[in-house]
Amino acid sequence: MRICIFGAGAVGSHFAVRLARAGHDVACVMRGPHLDAVKTGGLTLKVGDTNVTARVKASSDPAELGPQDVVISTLKATGIGALATGLAPLLKDDTAVVFAQNGIPWWYDLGLPADHPRIPDLGFLDPGGQLRAAIPKERIIGGVIFSSNEVIRPGVVANLSLDRNRLLIGECDDRQSERITRLRNALSDAAIDSPEVKQVREAIWSKLLTNMLLSVLCLLTGLTARAVRDDPSMRDVIPRLLDEANAVATRFIPEVKRVTRSGPAPDHKPSILQDYELGRAMEIDVLVRAPAAFARAAGLSTPMLDLMAALAIQKARDKALYPG
């Protein structure tokens, strides 16, 4: 398959190497020193003590890469607007676009069944409706990533979750399509776990239940995910936050598996904390603001989540990393 990774940072670069080594024609949209290094020496994945290098096409200009069978966007939610203007040269009539990102996605309302509970207005996730205008529902595939990675130097990415590298995918209307089967097989052949998903929004909420808590708590404390989970002062806080988060998730997706305790956590700073420390735009809207909006739409009282959201937004504003 011709597969383009749009926004090949840490996670995208990891997947690009695995897909290329599995025999696929892989192209990457990337920029800066990372791009320069890949053009010169290829893209290297470090897994434990093993280094694997793959030659991939790479450019900051999608027009140089040509039409693709699949585009996998690994852009963070804060940069996903780049797809609205950059995607067109990569598209054929049947090109699918996988949105593999954290949190509530901009397309959440597309393809919902008629009996789904009323959701909040999520227009703030796609300002001006640019993505909605550029990408029709028929192209959209939802994606949920479970994989911890870090660019350790330009051209080299380290996989920090050796036993857990997964990309869950599903049509936005949850039909089981031929293209989903083909892509799932391609991912599995590349040692990227991709089991069948009956409801892609269930997968989204399942990850969000812990991600929105541990990641934001890491932002507020400056600690790694493991340190937050193991901190005695958080022993009573995390379960109370989980109770509220579970209530929101199950109101909209009754089938979602409730999280009753925080499971294994990497001794690694989540991306939202890394972005804060590096002065980059942060995924606060998809991880904090959107879940709070769902709670309000359902008429649920979530004082712990509301407080955490307010503190996260204020912390980001103090560093001019959040508007307003």
2-198 folds as Rossmann fold (3.40.50)
Tokens 């479970």 locate to 146
Low-confidence ranges of the chain (pLDDT < 70): 261-264, 324
Residue 73, H or E segment: strand 70-73
Boundaries of every domain in the chain: 2-198, 202-318
Three-state secondary-structure class, residue 86:
helix
Enumerate residues 6+ apart whose C-beta is below 8 A from 36.
Answer: 154
Give the Cα separation of 83 and 93 in Å (integer).
Answer: 17
Half-sphere exposure of 172 (CA within 13 A, CB side): 21
pLDDT tens for residues 191-208? 999 999 999 999 999 999
**pTM assigned to the model:** 0.93
pLDDT tens for residues 98-136? 999 899 999 999 999 999 999 999 999 999 999 999 999
Q: Is 198 a catalytic residue?
A: no
Give the Cα separation of 73 and 211 in Å (integer).
Answer: 19
What class is the 202-318 domain?
mainly alpha
Share of the chain above pLDDT 70, in %: 98
Catalytic, out of 39, 92, 137, 207: 207
